[in-house]
Amino acid sequence: MAHFLPGLPGADEYSAAFAGYVSEARGCADPIAALEDQMVAMLALLRRVDSTKRLYRYGPDKWSVQQVLGHIIDVERIFAYRALRIARADKTPLPGFEENDYVVAAEAERCDWNSLVAEFECVRQASILLLKHLPDSAWTRRGTSSGATLSVRALAHIMVGHTEHHVTILRERYLL
């Protein structure tokens, strides 16, 4: 059975802070398919990263490749959690988070690379399954996160765009 196509989120379904990520999703009509395709491409990219590049930073205060991957994993979990809460009609306002604090606390550089790659795949699969199993009505539900309105369908597009944003940085600045 084909899954529901939620359509594109309107500008009133997310804050300006997420506009870049929604734009990065390039108006995908099917965010679930985009997440699946992106997972395949991301895994191919990550499996090619040489061990000498995993701790590389393109600047003194920049994250390493390994930290970027840890960040992508953490943020996907947060976005999926927000999507779950909003999809289930939970009206509790959701807080923001400080990404740099998360990167430091995660200590991703101590983790085995292949284990992190596997973790990304599991987290992405969980996100895909969450979205696939949503009732059609859940996609347009709105909640509050970081003091702004956010819909489930916007979150699905933001997940795609956030990862795409970091893939672009990995290719351009880390030369992967």
Residue 59 maps to a domain: yes
Residue 3 maps to a domain: no
Number of independent structural domains in the chain: 1
Q: What is the amino acid identity at position 141?
A: R
- Which residues constitute the domain of residue 104? 11-173
CATH of the domain at 36: 1.20.120.450
**76 near 122, Cβ under 8 Å?**
no
Residue 15 maps to a domain: yes
pLDDT of residue 35: 98
**pLDDT tens digit at each of 176 positions of the chain:** 567 889 999 999 999 999 999 999 987 889 999 999 999 999 999 999 999 999 999 999 999 999 999 999 999 999 999 999 999 999 999 999 999 999 999 999 999 999 999 999 999 999 999 999 999 999 999 999 999 999 999 999 999 999 999 999 999 999 88
Residue 2 maps to a domain: no
Residue 141 maps to a domain: yes
- The runs of H, that is alpha helices, within the chain are 19-24, 31-47, 65-87, 99-106, 113-132, 152-173
pLDDT of residue 50: 95
Residue 82 maps to a domain: yes
Residue 160 maps to a domain: yes
CA distance linking residue 20 with residue 7, whole number of Å: 18
